[in-house]
Amino acid sequence: MAEVNNAYTEDSIRSLDWREHIRLRPGMYIGKLGDGSSQDDGIYILVKEIIDNAIDEFVMGNGKTIEIKISDHKVQVRDYGRGIPLGKVIDCVSKINTGGKYDSKAFQKSVGLNGVGTKATNALASYFKVQSVRDGQMKVAEFERGELIQDHPIVETTQRNGTTVTFVPDDTIFKNYRFIPEYLENQVRNYVYLNAGLTVNFNGQKYYSEHGLKDLLSHKTDVEALRYPIIHLRGDDIELALSHGDEYGEEYYSFVNGQYTTQGGTHLAAFREAIARTVKEFFKKDYEASDIRASIIGAISIRVQEPVFESQTKTKLGSIAMAHDGPTVRGYINDFIKEHLDNFLHKNPAVADAMKRRIEQSERERKDMAGIKKLANQRAKKANLHNRKLRDCRVHFTDEKSDKHLLSTLFITEGDSASGSITKSRNVDTEAVFSLRGKPLNCYGLKKKVVYENEEFNLLQHALNIEESLEDLRYNRVVIATDADVDGMHIRLLLMTFFLQFFPDLVKNGHLFILETPLFRVRNKKETIYCYNETEKQAAMKKLGKNPEITRFKGLGEISPDEFGKFIGDNIRLEPVILNAENSIPKILSYFMGKNTPERQNFIIDNLKIEKDIVEDVEEEVYA
C-alpha cells in the first residue's frame, strides 16, 4: 500500500485575507450560488446587500429616492443619503467588520449589523465601483474581485449627496447567470411596501406605496376573490395585513427590519399562533388552528434592535427579543394581535361574519375528507414500501443545518427510461427523482379530495411532504422534467394545474421549475455543442463548420446517463414558474384548462405563427 503523506505541521496552517475567504467560501456569505433561476440565488443577495445600505439611509431620514439600474450583468444603485464619509470609502467596502452600524445611535434598526454584506458583493464582483458625494466633494474607488485597482483623489462636484455603487457579478463564480426581471421587481416592490414615503426608480419605472402591507397583499392576490377586505393593522415597530381567500394552503410574507425572511422564523410562527388564538377567543369556539388558517393570506413586518438571523443571508429570524430589556418577539406579536385584531373584529361585524363562514367551511371540508385521508395515507405507506417511484436524496430542504439544503431538488419525470437516466446521473446528496406512470389526471375544477383518491397525486404529495403545511416541504426545488414534445408539454401542463389548484403557495414561493433539456446535439471530431432551441442549433452549425453531425433528441429517455450528467450538474437550465401578479390563479386555470374559447384558440395560432417566423428568419440568416 502506498504511503500517504498527511503530516500536520506549521506549513499546514494557512491564513486567508477577507477577500480570499469570501471567494473560497461564498456560501457562508450569500447562501447558494445558482444561476439566477431561483429567487434565493446569490446574485440577488449581492443586489440586496447594496440596496439594504440605501434603505438604511432612508430609514434614518436621509434621502427619499433610490435609483436602481440593472441590465443583463451590470448593477447600479444610487441613493441620496448622507454619503459614506470620504476618508472611509475604501475601508467601508473592503475591510471586513467595518461600517457605521455598530453605533446604535446612527442605525437603530438596520438589517445589516456585521459589516460583511458590501464586502461580499465587492469580493464576488469582477468589477466594483463606489462613489460617495458629501457637501460638494466626491470620492471614487474601483475594484476587481475585491482588489483595489484605482484610488481616485477627492474632487469638487455639484452632484447631490449620496452613494452610488456599480458592480458586475463575477461569471467565474456565478456561471451562466442571468437576472430574472420578475424577481428583481419583486425585491423592489417589497422595499417600497415596507418603507412608506420611499420612491424607487427601477430601470425607468417608479415604485411607491401608500398603504404598506395592504398594498403588498393587494398586489399578490385577486382582491375581488377575497372573502372580506384586507385587515390592516399598524403599531410601534409592527405592521400586519391579512384576509381569507378560496385557494388551498396558507400564504405568508414576513419581514424583519425590511428584510424579506423567506424561511420565516420566530416572528412568523408567533403571527400564525396569535391569529389562531385570537380568533378562537373572539368567537368563543375551539376551532382547529388549521381551519382558522386555511386559505389565509397574510403579511407581517417587525423592526427589532440587533436581530439575530440564522445565516448571513438573513432568510430566517432566530432572535427572541424586540430590544434590549424589551419583550420577546413572540410575546410582543401575540399581545399586539390579541388587542388590535380583537378590537377590529368587534368594530367590523361584517368582516367577522365573513371570516367565521370561511373558517366553518374549512372545518366541514376537513371533516368530510377525514376518512379519505386515512385510507390514502395507509395506501401511500404501503406503496412506498413496495415500489420505487421515489429515489430519494440524502439532504432535504428541512435540513437547515446543512449547507446543501437549498440545493435539494426533486425531479418529476415521465416513464422509466427518463427516470433511469436522471437517477443514474444525479447528485445523490441533493437530487431525488419521482417517476410518473402515464399522464396525471386533469384536476382542474376538482376538490382536494382527489389528491387522496388519486394514487399518483397522493404519492407525490407524500414525497414532497406538503400534506399539512409548506413548512415541511422536503425539496427547495420541485422540477418538472418532461419531454419537449406535445405529450411532454401536456404532462407539464397537467402537473402545473395540480400544483396551482391544490398547492398554490408552493408556486408562489418560487419552488416550482421546468427543466430545460437539449433538443439537439451538434458535434464534429473536436467539439460537441448541446442546443436547446433552433436558434442555438443554427449558431452551433455555423461555428463548427462543414457537415457537423446533428442528433435530434426526441425524448429524455434517448439521452444517456453520461450526457444527462452534463445537463443537471453545474450547467443545469431551470425555468422558474412565475405567477403574473395581474392574473389570479382561477383566471389562469380557467384560461388554459377550461373549455375552449376563441381567445385561447387565437393565442395558440398567433404564437405558433410567431415561432415559425423566428425559425424561418434564423434559417435565412444562416444560409444567406
Answer yes or no: do 245 and 271 share one domain. Answer: yes
What 3 state SS string does 113-126 have?
A: CCCCHHHHHHHCEE
Residues 395 and 281 grouped into a single domain:
no
Q: Are residues 87 and 106 in the same domain?
A: yes
Give the three cell numbers for residue 137. 466633494
Q: Find where cell 396551482 sits.
A: 500
Q: What per-residue confidence (pLDDT) applies to 341?
A: 96
Q: Where does a domain end: 190, 207, 224?
A: 207
User: 207, 224, 250: which is the final residue of a domain?
Assistant: 207
226 and 131, same structural domain?
Answer: no
Domain-located, residue 619: no
Please check whether residue 13 lies inside any domain of the structure.
no
Residues 150 and 170 in one domain: yes
Q: Are residues 490 and 454 in the same domain?
A: yes
Q: In this structure, are 325 and 418 located in the same domain?
A: no
Band the pLDDT of 489: cuts 50, 70, 90: confident
Cell numbers describing residue 250: 396558507
Distances (CA, A) of 235 to 55, 194, 214: 21, 13, 14
Residue 327 lies in a domain: yes
pLDDT at 113: 42
Range in 25-34, 292-301, 429-438, 605-614 with the lowest mean pLDDT: 605-614
287: pLDDT strictly greater than 70: yes
Q: What is the pLDDT of residues 514-523, one digit of tens each?
A: 988 888 889 8
Report the relative pairing of strands 296-302 and 251-256 from DSSP bridges. Answer: parallel
Number of domains forming the structure of the chain:
3
Q: Is residue 604 in some structural domain?
A: no
Most confident of 194-198, 284-288, 316-320, 470-474: 284-288
pLDDT on residue 313: 56
| Range of lowest pLDDT (45-59, 66-80, 173-187, 300-314) | 300-314
Residue 252 CA to residue 255 CA, distance in Å, equals: 10
538 three-class SS: helix
Task: Tell me the per-residue pLDDT of 217-238, one tens digit each, with 9 for 90 and over.
Answer: 998 888 888 999 999 999 988 9
Q: Within this chain, do residues 163 and 230 fall inside the same structural domain, yes or no?
A: no
**Residue 421 and residue 353 share a domain:** no
Alpha-carbon span 607 to 172, nearest angstrom: 36
Inside any domain, residue 576: yes
Which pLDDT score, from 0 to 100, does residue 556 have? 75
Shared domain for 341 and 403, answered yes or no, is no
pLDDT of residue 541: 92
Sheet with strand 528-531: strands edge to edge: 528-531, 520-523, 549-552
Residue 73 in any domain: the answer is yes
The CATH number covering residue 184 comes to 3.30.565.10
Q: Is 606 part of a structural domain of the chain?
A: no
pLDDT of 325 reads 59
At CA 259, angle to CA 257 and CA 264, rounded to 5?
105
Cα 173 from Cα 42, distance rounded (Å): 10
Residue 287's CATH number:
3.30.230.10
Cβ contacts of 342 within 8 Å, gap of 6 or more: 278, 281, 282
Q: Which helix (H) or strand (E) holds 22?
A: helix 18-24
Average pLDDT, the chain: 84
Residue 453's CATH number? 3.40.50.670
**Domain range for 339:** 213-362
Please tell me whether residues 58 and 113 are part of one structural domain.
yes
Cα gap 302→235, rounded to integer Å:
10
Reply yes or no on whether the pLDDT at 114 is more than 60: no
Does 429 share its domain with 413? yes
Is residue 103 classed exposed, middle or buried when 0-12, 13-18 and 19+ CB atoms within 10 A define those classes? Answer: exposed
Inside any domain, residue 287: yes
Q: Looking at residues 319-332, what average pLDDT do you find?
A: 72
pLDDT at 345: 96
Q: What's the rounded mean pLDDT across residues 598-622?
A: 55
103: left (phi > 0), else alpha (psi -120 to 50), else beta?
Answer: beta
CA-CA distance, 502 to 513, in Å (whole number)? 17
Cα dihedral 261, 264, 269, 270 in deg (nearest 10): -10
Work out the pLDDT band at 14, boundaries 50, 70, 90: low
